[in-house]
Amino acid sequence: MPLLFATAGCRSSDAFAGPDPLSGRPPLSHDVVTLQAIIKAEEALVTLYKTAIAGHFAGAPQASVLGPLLAQHEQHLARLRARLVIPSGASSPASPSASTAPAPSAAPVTTATLRAAEDASATSLVQQLATVQPSLAQLFASIAASDATHAAVLGG
Amino acid sequence: MATAVTAVSALQGALAAEDAAIFGYGVAGAHLSGSHQNAAEQDWTGHNQARDTLTAMITARGAVPAPAQAAYKLPFRVHDEASAMELAAYLEDGVARAYLGLVAVTDKQLRTFGATAMQGPAQRAAYWRGSTQAFPGLVS
C-alpha cells in the first residue's frame, strides 16, 4: 500500500490529462425517461382542466364534474412525481414546480376536448407500460383506467 | 425472495374474479329494477364473455382453467337496491384489481391485455358507485 501511494504521489498533473469518467452525467434509465414524458402529459391535462374551470369551458352541463376530475388528475401527478428518482448530476427532470396554471388567453375548452384528452392519455399510458418495470406499469394501467372512467363521465 | 407473477397464475386470478362477478351479479340483479337491472344484465353478459376469453387464454398456454365455485361469500348482506349497487361496485373493483395483476407479468402482450381489460370494470364500478376513482385497482 505505501508503494501505491508513493507512485501516485510522484505523478505530475500531466498523468491526469486523459478522460475523466467521474465527471460525466449518468444516463437516465428508460423508466425515468418514460416517467418524465408521462408527467409532462399529466401536467398538460391538469392545465386543460384548470383552463376549463377558470371559465373557458364550453360545456356548462358537465361543469360541475370538472372539480372532482381535476382533483384526481392532481393525485395522478403527485403519485407519478413521487416515483421519479433522478441520479445526481443527471440532466434535469420535468420540474416538479412546473406551472399548471391555465393559459390566460386560452381558447374555450369543450367537452369533446376534455374527452379526447382523456382518451389520448389512457391510450398513451397503455402503450408505454409494456416496457417499464412491473410496479410502474401497474401505476400507468391504473391511471389509464381512471382516465377511461373520466372519458365515460364526459360522455365518451 | 419475491416470486415473479407468472402469466398463468395471473390469468387464473382474473378468471376467478370473473367467476365471482358472474355469481355476484346473479345476487345483485335480483334486487335491481329498471335501468339498473338492464345494466346489471349487460354487465353479467360482459363478465361471461370475459370468462370465456380468459378460459381460452389459459387453455392456449397448456394449463387447465380453474373451475368456478358453486357459491361465493359475499362481503355484506344484499337486501335492497342500494346494497345491490354497492355489491356491483365491489365486484367490479375486484375484477379491475385482478386484471391489474396481469400488468405485472413480463409478457408485453398480456400486460397490454390486462391494462385494457381493467378499463371496463373501472368504468362499471364508477357507474355503480356514482363517482370515479383516482387509482382503480390500487390502494389510493
Tally of CB atoms within 10 A around A31: 16
Nearest Cα residue in chain A from B121: A145
Residue B110: inside a domain, yes or no? yes
What is chain A's length? 156
CA of B70, closest CA in chain A: separation in Å?
31
Complex ipTM value? 0.94
Residues of B in contact with A75 (CB under 8 A): 134-135, 140
Residues of chain A numbered 24-53 and touching chain B (CB < 8 Å): none
The per-residue pLDDT for range A13-32, each reduced to its tens digit, is 556 677 777 777 778 899 99
pLDDT tens, residue by residue, A87-109? 776 665 544 445 666 666 567 88
Whether the CB of A110 is below 8 Å from some CB of chain B: the reply is no
Q: Is residue B87 assigned to a domain?
A: yes
Place B2 in a pLDDT band, splitting at 50, 70 and 90: very low
Cell of A83: 416515483
pLDDT category of residue A59 using cuts at 50, 70 and 90:
low
Q: What is the pLDDT of residue A6?
A: 47
A109 by DSSP, 3-state: which?
strand
Residue A125 CA to residue A122 CA, distance in Å, equals 5
Number of independent structural domains in chain B? 1
Domain of B113 in residue numbering reads as 7-61+73-129
Instruction: Please check whether residue B68 lies inside any domain of the structure.
Output: no
The CATH code belonging to domain A29-84+107-156 is 1.20.1260.10
Q: Where are the domains of chain A?
A: 29-84+107-156
Query: Which band of pLDDT confidence, cut at 50, 70 and 90, is reported for residue B38?
Result: very high
Verify whether the Cβ–Cβ distance A141 to B114 is below 8 Å. Answer: yes
- Torsion angle (degrees, nearest 10) of CA B44, B46, B49, B51: -70
In angstroms, the CA A44 to CA A64 distance is 21
CATH code (residue B94): 1.20.1260.10
